[in-house]
Structure formats: C-alpha cells, structure tokens
Chain A
C-alpha cells in the first residue's frame, strides 16, 4: 500500500530555513506528481506546491513563491520542500500528498497523504 513519511519539521526562528523530506513507498514514485499541503493549527488546508513526475515544472502558492523550493530525487523516492525566509504565518503541519494523475498528466487532487510534520516558526 502507499506510504508517505514526512520528516524535518521542528521549531525555527523567523527568517531562518528548514528542509522537509517525504519518502514514498508502495507505488512507482517516478510516475506521479507530488504535492505539499499545509494546515495551520486549528485551521483549514492550504496547497503549497506541486512537482511533476520528472521535476520539470514546479508551481507554488503565491504565499510561498520565491521563498520555498520543491524538488525530488526519484532514485531515493523522496520529495523535498526547502523553506527559506520563514515567517510566523508559515507555522503549520506540512503534508506531502500523492497526485492521482499518472505521468505527464497530473490532476491536482490527492489520493494519498502522509501523517504530516509540524513546523513552528517562533523566536
């Protein structure tokens, strides 16, 4: 079965950086786009970024564009989220999520989710 395991969360000061990882198993990783979605404490879901199966194009939410970078290493079945210039409003549980679409045509909805990793931005 599909398994997604996020890591790398923690407490970080405003303006600093953090890199999240998500390691996948149970499916052919290099055939699927992967997303990051976040959820601030007690709040709803916010999409953050997507990277297609081959890493060729990346899209970001306006709120993180220019500060966050999504990447993937298909040899390691892992997707990353490099978060720079962190702000207090980036505090959230960050989920990685698998896209339903196959190969070059990703669908932008999410059929499997990890358990999430908490990022707290605080001085």
Chain B
C-alpha cells in the first residue's frame, strides 16, 4: 500500500494569514502516460463528513473558494490556504488514488490562532 504522510500534524494560523500543509507519498502517484498526479485533498469540519477540495493534485472542485490551492508532483504535494478564514478551521486529509487501496494521510488540524 502507498503510505501518505502529512506534516505538520496541526498548525495554528491567524485569520488572513497563509496556511500550508504538506503531504508525501511513499511512492510516486504521477502516471507518466497521462502526466497526472493521482492526489486529492479533503476538508473535514467537526462533526461533518469530508468534503472534496482538490483532485489531480491541483484542480479545485466546483464551488471551492480560490483561496485553496494544490501543488506538487510525484511524491511531494502541498495544500495552501492563501488567506485563512474562520470557516477553514478543520482537519485536512490528502489521499492517493494511484493504486488500490486508496490511502489517506493521517490528517492535519488547522486551528485559528
């Protein structure tokens, strides 16, 4: 199985500041034949199910604010929240879908400072 490791486990960010979450996979999730990274990001607010934010490492899901962006390739990826809002307090997960089973990172908790 591909192991996904996120860092940090938690971070506290002031409103309006940038939040950066890293995700590393134990093997590449880049498929050379189509040049796509099989990597998604989800947001889970307290008491809620996860919500898809980003797929193909950098494609924003419809309706997701543009302050959320994804980057990276191969084994190293980043989710950036450019200007944190109060509603962004949540746990964020990366997930690879390059192989079955799909696997998730352990989650990164974003709190408001």
Contact = CB atoms under 8 A, between A and B. Distances in A.
Interface in B18-61: 38, 40, 42, 48-52, 55, 61
A62 B55 CA distance: 25
Interface residues of B, number: 21
A30 to B, nearest CB: 22
Contacts of A105: none
Contact of A116 (B38, B49, B104): B49
Contacts of A50: 100
B106 A107 contact: no
Contacts of A114: 49
A115 interface: yes
Nearest to A114: B49
A49 B48 CA distance: 21
A109 interface: yes
A68 to B, nearest CB: 13
A44 B105 contact: yes
Interface in B66-99: 93, 95, 97
A95 interface: yes
Given A110-B52, A111-B52, A114-B49, A47 B107 contact: no
Contact of B52 (A45, A59, A109): A109
B61 A45 contact: no
A61 B38 CA distance: 19
Contacts of A115: 48-49
A110 B49 CA distance: 11
A45 B93 CA distance: 8
B103 A47 contact: yes
A113 B49 contact: yes
Contacts of B55: 100, 109
B95 A59 contact: no
A45 B100 contact: no
10 contacts: A45-B104, A45-B107, A47-B101, A95-B50, A100-B55, A108-B97, A109-B55, A110-B50, A111-B61, A116-B49
Given A44-B106, A45-B42, A108-B100, 7 more contacts: A44-B93, A45-B93, A45-B107, A95-B50, A100-B52, A100-B55, A109-B97
